[in-house]
C-alpha cells in the first residue's frame, strides 16, 4: 500500500473510532463517515471490502490503543497493584472528561447494538472483553499475593464483575455528562474488595 | 380517543418497546416500526406529533411496567429484604432468557444512544434511573435495619452502584446471549454487601 493510501485507511479507522464511541452505528452511517473523513465510497470498499471488515479494523485499532494503556498503567510496578487499578480508573475518567463525556466505550457501544445480530462481531467483542479481563485479573492476582485484597477474594471473578459493572458506569457517565457514576462504581468496587487496613505492598506510594 | 385509535396507539407503543429493547433507534427506524405495527405515518404523527414524543411514550410504558414489577417483588414483605433483591434479580434474568437474551434494557439502550444528544430524553432517562434507585435504596434500607447488610453500608450509595453495574451486566448478557454476566455481577454485589452470617430477618424464608 502506498503512503497516501495508507494514510487514507488510517484516517477512516480513526474517524470510525471517534464516531462509533460517540454515536450508534445507525446514527453514524457510512455516508456520514465518508463525508467526515473526506473519502469516497469506492476507496472505502477498496480498503475494507465490507462494513463488517471496517468495523473489525476499528475494533482492532481500539484494542491496540487499550493494550498500550493497560500495559503502561496496570503494568507499572512502581505502584502497588490496587493503586494501579485506581490510576487506571482515574485515567479512564480523564479520557471521558476530555471529550465532554460524549464518547463512551467503543466495545460497549458495539456490544449493545451489534452483538446479538452479528456472530463474527460478537465473537470479536467477547474476545476483547476477555483480553481486558486478563489484564485486570493479573493485577488483582498481584494484589492478592501481597495482601491488598480481602481474604477469600477470587481475582478472576472480581475482574469479570469489575469490567461488567464498568460498562454500566460508562453508560451512566455518558447519559449524565459527568464523572460521578464512574467514581461511584469504582469506589464501591475498591471498597468491597480491599481490606479496611491494607498492607504496604511493594511499590505502594 | 375512540376505541380503535386507542388500540392503534397502544400497539405502536408496544412495538416501540419491543423493538427499542432489541435494536438501536438507528436500526429500528420509523418505517420499520410502522410496517411492523401496520400503521401509517399519518396516524403516527396524529398520535405523537414527533419521534421524540413517541420515544417519551415508550419510556412511560416501560417505566409503568417496571414500577409494577418493583412493587410486586421488592414490596413483597413475605420475603426478607435481601431475598427480595435476589428474587428481583432472578426475575430479570428470566425476563432476558424469555427473549433469548436479545432484548436488553430500554432505558440503558436509549441512554447509550440518545442520552448525550437530546436534553429532554436525557432528563427523562435520568429520572427513570432515579426512580429505580429509590426502589433499591428502600429495600436496602430495610435490609440494613434488620442486619442483612454489612456494618457501615450506605443504602443510597449501594443502590446507585448496583443499578449502574447492572446496566453493564445486561449489556454483557445481551452480547454473550446468556445469563452468566448477570448472575456473576449479582453474586458479586450481594456477597459484597451482606455479612457472612446474615440474621433471620422478618419474612426470611
Stretch A68-85: mean pLDDT, rounded? 96
Q: Give the pLDDT confidence of B189-203 residue by residue, as tens digits.
A: 999 999 988 777 876
**Unique residue bearing C-alpha cell 419521534:** B51
Q: Give the pLDDT confidence of B48-107 residue by residue, as tens digits.
A: 999 999 999 999 999 999 999 999 999 999 999 999 999 999 999 999 999 999 999 999
B20 near B106, Cβ under 8 Å? Answer: yes
Q: Give the pLDDT confidence of B109-138 residue by residue, as tens digits.
A: 999 888 778 999 999 999 999 999 999 999
Residue B18 within any structural domain of the chain = no
Residue B127 within any structural domain of the chain = yes
Q: Say whether pLDDT at A115 is over 80.
A: no
Name the residue among B13, B183, B40 with its Cα closest to residue B21: B13
Residue A81 within any structural domain of the chain = yes
CA distance A90 to A183: 8
**How confident is the model at residue A1, as a pLDDT?**
59
Count CB neighbours of A31 within 10 A. Answer: 9
Task: Give the side-chain half-sphere CA count within 13 A for B2.
Answer: 3
Count CB neighbours of A61 within 10 A. Answer: 16
Reading the block at residue A105, the C-alpha cell is 466505550
| Residue of chain B whose alpha carbon sits nearest to that of A112 | B171
| Residue of chain A whose alpha carbon sits nearest to that of B181 | A164
Q: Give the pLDDT confidence of A149-205 residue by residue, as tens digits.
A: 999 999 999 999 999 999 999 999 999 999 999 999 999 999 999 998 877 787 654
Residue B73 within any structural domain of the chain = yes
Answer whether A174 sits within 8 Å of B115, measured CB to CB.
yes
Q: Which residues of A touch B104 (CB under 8 A)?
A: 112
Q: What is the mean pLDDT of chain A?
A: 93
Reading the block at residue B92, the C-alpha cell is 430479570
Q: Give the pLDDT confidence of B146-163 residue by residue, as tens digits.
A: 999 999 999 999 999 999
Exposure of B187 by Cβ count < 10 A (0-12 exposed, 13-18 middle, 19+ buried)?
middle
Considering the entire predicted model, what is its pTM? 0.94
Residue of A24, A117, A184 lying closest to B113 (CB–CB): A24
Q: Where are the alpha helices (DSSP H) in chain A?
A: 3-22, 25-28, 30-37, 41-48, 51-74, 81-98, 106-113, 119-145, 155-176, 180-193
Answer whether A112 sits within 8 Å of B24, measured CB to CB.
yes
Residue B1's pLDDT band (cuts 50, 70, 90): low
Which residue would you say has higher pLDDT here, A53 or A202?
Answer: A53
Residue B130 within any structural domain of the chain = yes
Residue A144 within any structural domain of the chain = yes
Least confident of A52-66, A86-100, A104-118, B120-134: A104-118
Residue A189 within any structural domain of the chain = yes
**How confident is the model at residue A63, as a pLDDT?**
97
Answer whether A116 sits within 8 Å of B177, measured CB to CB.
yes
Looking at residue B136, which CATH number applies to its domain? 1.10.357.10
Does residue B116 belong to the interface with chain A, where contact is any CB pair within 8 Å?
yes
**How confident is the model at residue A203, as a pLDDT?**
65
Residue of B169, B171, B176 lying closest to A112 (CB–CB): B171
| Residue of chain B whose alpha carbon sits nearest to that of A187 | B161
Nearest-CA distance from A25 to chain B in Å?
7
In chain A, how many domains are there?
Answer: 1
Q: Which residues of A touch B160 (CB under 8 A)?
A: 181, 184
Residue A129 within any structural domain of the chain = yes
CA distance A78 to A87: 12
- Spatial neighbors of A151 by CB under 8 A, at least 6 apart, are A195
**How confident is the model at residue B124, as a pLDDT?**
97
Reading the block at residue A114, the C-alpha cell is 451489534
Residue of A169, A177, A185 lying closest to B116 (CB–CB): A177
The domain in which residue A173 lies consists of 52-193
| Residue of chain A whose alpha carbon sits nearest to that of B183 | A161
Q: Which residues of B touch A160 (CB under 8 A)?
A: 181, 184
Q: Give the pLDDT confidence of B6-17 residue by residue, as tens digits.
A: 889 999 999 999
Which residue would you say has higher pLDDT here, A57 or A116?
Answer: A57
CA distance B79 to B87: 9
Residue A126's pLDDT band (cuts 50, 70, 90): very high
Strands (E), A12-66: none
Stretch A93-122: mean pLDDT, rounded? 92
Give the SS3 label for residue A99: coil
Q: Say whether pLDDT at B47 is over 80.
A: yes
Amino acid at each position: 500500500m502506498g503512503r497516501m493510501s495508507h494514510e487514507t485507511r488510517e484516517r477512516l479507522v480513526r474517524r470510525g473510532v471517534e464516531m462509533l464511541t460517540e454515536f450508534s452505528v445507525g446514527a453514524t452511517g457510512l455516508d456520514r463517515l465518508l463525508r467526515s473523513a473526506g473519502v469516497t465510497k469506492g476507496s472505502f470498499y477498496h480498503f475494507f471490502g465490507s462494513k463488517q471488515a471496517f468495523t473489525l479494523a476499528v475494533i482492532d485499532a481500539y484494542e491496540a490503543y487499550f493494550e498500550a494503556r493497560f500495559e503502561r498503567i496496570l503494568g507499572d510496578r512502581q505502584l502497588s497493584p490496587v493503586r494501579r487499578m485506581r490510576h487506571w480508573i482515574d485515567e479512564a475518567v480523564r479520557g471521558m472528561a476530555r471529550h465532554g463525556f460524549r464518547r463512551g466505550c467503543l466495545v460497549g457501544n458495539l456490544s449493545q447494538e451489534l452483538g446479538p445480530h452479528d456472530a463474527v462481531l460478537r465473537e470479536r467483542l467477547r474476545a476483547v472483553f476477555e483480553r481486558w479481563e486478563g489484564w485486570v485479573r493479573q493485577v488483582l492476582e498481584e494484589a492478592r499475593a501481597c495482601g491488598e485484597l480481602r481474604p477469600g477474594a477470587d481475582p478472576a471473578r472480581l475482574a469479570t464483575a469489575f469490567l461488567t459493572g464498568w460498562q454500566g458506569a460508562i453508560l451512566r457517565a455518558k447519559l449524565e455528562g459527568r464523572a460521578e457514576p464512574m467514581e461511584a462504581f469504582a469506589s464501591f468496587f475498591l471498597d468491597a474488595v480491599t481490606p479496611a487496613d491494607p498492607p504496604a505492598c511493594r511499590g505502594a506510594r
